[in-house]
């Protein structure tokens, strides 16, 4: 085999490798991006909130349920009374959720005492309108959510269930 033929062979082999690598990536890109599924986003955010709640409890010795007084409560099905989490208290100074950049998945509900933005001392706003979840914490510090499943702007009696509801996100 001449040197030219060898170089040609190696070049062709390299190009084929690149093509198959590209195809492999193309057909597996959904799998690689699975964290962007509703379930991936929901559980990812829940884990972040749980970490920030844990940090807050460690640092402050109390639940992040409002600066001056508790924002409000929801009675989560199968869990019991939970406090609405103050999004500002899990945003600073611990820093897991950057100030002014609340991620998707935090709902703002008309009226007082019913969502994560309702602490009068908190000036954060949701990432956009039409979000579905309000995040709460029970007395033991475990994070749960309730969901405005029917998008009517309230958390009704049938919407007090923890977890990703009907793949609704955010
Ligand atoms: Ca509200
Ligand atoms: Ca509702």
pLDDT value of position 17 = 57
Residue 124 belongs to some domain of the structure:
yes
pLDDT value of position 169 = 97
Residue 15 belongs to some domain of the structure:
no
pLDDT value of position 93 = 55
What is the Cα 73 distance to its own chain's centre? 20
Residue 167 belongs to some domain of the structure:
no
Q: Which ligand is nearest to the CA of 158?
A: 2
User: Ligand 2 centroid to 19 CA: how many Å?
Assistant: 49
Helix segments in the chain, DSSP class H:
3-32, 38-60
User: Ligand 1 centroid to 2 CA: how many Å?
Assistant: 77
User: Ligand 1 centroid to 141 CA: how many Å?
Assistant: 22
Output the tens digit of pLDDT for each of the chain's 170 residues. 677 777 777 766 665 556 556 555 555 554 444 568 999 999 999 999 999 999 999 999 999 999 999 999 999 999 999 999 999 999 865 455 655 679 999 999 999 999 999 999 998 999 999 999 999 999 999 999 999 999 999 999 999 999 999 999 99
pLDDT value of position 70 = 98
User: Ligand 2 centroid to 132 CA: how many Å?
Assistant: 9
User: Ligand 1 centroid to 43 CA: how many Å?
Assistant: 23
pLDDT value of position 161 = 98
Residue 61 belongs to some domain of the structure:
yes
pLDDT value of position 30 = 47
Residue 4 belongs to some domain of the structure:
no
Domain count, the chain: 1
pLDDT value of position 9 = 73
User: Ligand 1 centroid to 167 CA: how many Å?
Assistant: 24
* Cβ–Cβ < 8 Å for 24, 32: no
Q: State the first-to-last Cα distance of the chain, in angstroms, to the nearest integer.
A: 61
pLDDT value of position 33 = 42
Domain that holds residue 95: 33-159
User: Ligand 2 centroid to 6 CA: how many Å?
Assistant: 69
């Amino acid at each position: 085999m001449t040197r030219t033929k060898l170089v040609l062979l190696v070049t062709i082999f390299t190009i084929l490798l690149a093509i198959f690598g590209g195809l492999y990536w193309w057909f597996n890109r959904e799998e690689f991006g699975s964290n962007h599924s509703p379930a991936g986003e929901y559980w990812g955010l829940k884990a972040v909130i749980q970490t920030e709640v844990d940090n807050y409890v460690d640092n402050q010795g109390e639940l992040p349920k409002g600066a001056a007084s508790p924002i409000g409560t929801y009675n989560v099905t199968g869990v019991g009374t939970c406090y609405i989490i103050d999004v500002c208290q899990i945003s600073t100074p611990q820093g897991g959720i950057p100030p002014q950049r609340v991620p998707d998945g935090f709902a703002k509900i008309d009226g007082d005492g019913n969502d994560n933005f309702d602490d009068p001392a908190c000036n954060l706003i949701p990432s956009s309108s039409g979000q579905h979840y309000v995040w709460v914490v029970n007395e033991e510090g475990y994070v749960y959510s309730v969901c405005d499943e029917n998008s009517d702007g309230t958390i009704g009696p049938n919407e007090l269930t923890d977890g990703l509801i009907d793949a609704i996100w955010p």
